[in-house]
Structure 1
Amino acid sequence: MALLNLNVLLTLLLGVDRTQKHLNFTELTQLSGYKSEEHTVVTEDGYVLNMFRITRGAKCVGEIKQTPVFFMPPLLSAADTALEPGPNAAMPYLISDACYDIWVGNPRGTYYGRRHMRLDPDKNKEFWQFSMNEIGTYDVPAMVDYVLDNTKKEKLMYIGFSQGGGSFFVMCSERPDMCQKIKLMIGLAPATRLRNTKSVFLRTLCKNAEDNLDVFDRMQIWEVFGRDQVTAAVNGLFCRNNVKMCEWFVSLVDSSHPGSVASSTYKTMLERFPAGTSIRNLVHFSQGLRNKKFVKFNHGTEKNLKVYGHPNPPEYNLTAADLPILLITGRNDAVVDVKDVKWLARKLPELKEFLIVEDPMWNHVDMFYSKFIKDMIFPKILNYLLRYNEN
Structure 2
Amino acid sequence: MTNFFAPLLCFCNAIYFASSVLPDPYRKIDYMVDYYGYPFEKHVVETEDGYSIEVHRIPGGKGEKVNQTLINKPPAYLLHALTQSSADWISVGPQLSLAFLLADEGFDVWLGNCRGNLFGRNHKIYLETSYGFWNYRIPKLMVIEVGNSCQGSALPTDNKSELPTADKLAMLRDGSTVGKPTVARPIRRKPGLGSEYRHLWHEIGIYDMPATIDMILKKTGKSQLYLGCFSQGCTASLVMGALKPDYNKKIRLAAKMGPVAFLGNMQGGGKMVLPTITKLLVPILERFGHFDVTTIALLTILVTKLLKMHIIIPVIFNAIYAFVGPGHSNDNEQAIKMGAPFLLGGISSKQVLHYGLGVLNPNTFRQYDYGSEKNMIAYNSSDPPDYPLEEVTMPMVIFQGKNDFCADPLDVELLMKRLPNVIQRFMRPVNHIDFGYNRNIRSLVYNKIVELFKKSESKISRNIRN
Please state if 1:246 is matched with 2:250: no
Q: Which moved more, 1:233-242 or 1:262-271?
A: 262-271
Q: How does 1:299-338 map to 2 (within 5 A)?
A: 299-338=370-409
Residue of structure 2 equivalent to 1:102: 109
Residue of structure 2 equivalent to 1:364: 432
Counterpart residue identity of residue 314, structure 2? K
Counterpart residue identity of residue 342, structure 2? R
Secondary structure of the 1:56 match is coil
Q: 1:232 aligns with which of 300, 315, 336?
A: 300
Residue of structure 2 equivalent to 1:383: 451
Q: 1:223 aligns with which of 269, 292, 300?
A: 292
Decide whether aligned partners of structure 1 residues 39 and 193 sit closer, same or farther in structure 2, where only a CA change above 3 A counts: same
Secondary structure of the 1:224 match is coil
Question: 1:36-86 deviations in whole A, cap 9, x for unaligned?
Answer: 111101001001111111111217899856421100001111111122331
Q: Distance in 1 between matches of 2:307 and 2:58?
A: 28
1:385 CA displacement: 0.2
Q: Does the 8 A contact of 2:313 with 2:330 survive in 1? A: no
Secondary structure of the 1:120 match is coil
Please state if 1:350 is matched with 2:421: yes
Question: 1:133-158 deviations in whole A, cap 9, x for unaligned?
Answer: 11101111111111001111111111
Decide whether aligned partners of structure 1 residues 19 and 157 sit closer, same or farther in structure 2, where only a CA change above 3 A counts: closer
Question: 1:155-199 deviations in whole A, cap 9, x for unaligned?
Answer: 111111111011101001111111211111111111111111113
Q: Distance in 2 between matches of 1:214 and 1:330?
A: 34
Counterpart residue identity of residue 431, structure 2? N
Q: Does the 8 A contact of 1:68 with 1:103 survive in 2? A: yes
Is there any run of 5+ residues in structure 1 with no aligned partner, and where? 12-16
Residue of structure 2 equivalent to 1:204: 273
Q: Percent identity?
A: 24
Secondary structure of the 1:180 match is helix
Counterpart residue identity of residue 43, structure 2? H
Please state if 1:193 is matched with 2:251: no
Decide whether aligned partners of structure 1 residues 126 and 203 sit closer, same or farther in structure 2, where only a CA change above 3 A counts: farther
Decide whether aligned partners of structure 1 residues 271 and 253 sit closer, same or farther in structure 2, where only a CA change above 3 A counts: farther
1:280 CA displacement: 1.2
Q: Distance in 2 between matches of 1:168 and 1:144?
A: 11
Please state if 1:340 is matched with 2:408: no
Count how many residue pairs are aligned between Structure 1 and Structure 2.
Answer: 381
Q: Does the 8 A contact of 1:65 with 1:100 survive in 2? A: no
Q: Does the 8 A contact of 2:304 with 2:337 survive in 1? A: yes
1:327 CA displacement: 0.5
Counterpart residue identity of residue 92, structure 2? P
Residue of structure 2 equivalent to 1:111: 118
Q: Does the 8 A contact of 2:89 with 2:99 survive in 1? A: yes
Secondary structure of the 2:58 match is strand
TM-score when normalising by structure 2: 0.76
Is there any run of 5+ residues in structure 2 with no aligned partner, and where? 1-9, 137-198, 461-466
Q: How does 1:1-391 map to 2 (within 5 A)?
A: 18-58=22-62, 66-129=73-136, 130-201=199-270, 204-205=273-274, 207-216=276-285, 222-226=291-295, 228-241=296-309, 242-258=312-328, 261-291=331-361, 292-357=363-428, 360=429, 362-389=430-457, 391=460
The structure with more radius of gyration? 2
Q: Distance in 2 between matches of 1:8 and 1:220?
A: 14
TM-score when normalising by structure 1: 0.89
Decide whether aligned partners of structure 1 residues 212 and 29 sit closer, same or farther in structure 2, where only a CA change above 3 A counts: same
1:217 CA displacement: 5.8
Question: 1:11-47 deviations in whole A, cap 9, x for unaligned?
Answer: 9xxxxx9454323322111111111111101001001
Decide whether aligned partners of structure 1 residues 217 and 288 sit closer, same or farther in structure 2, where only a CA change above 3 A counts: closer
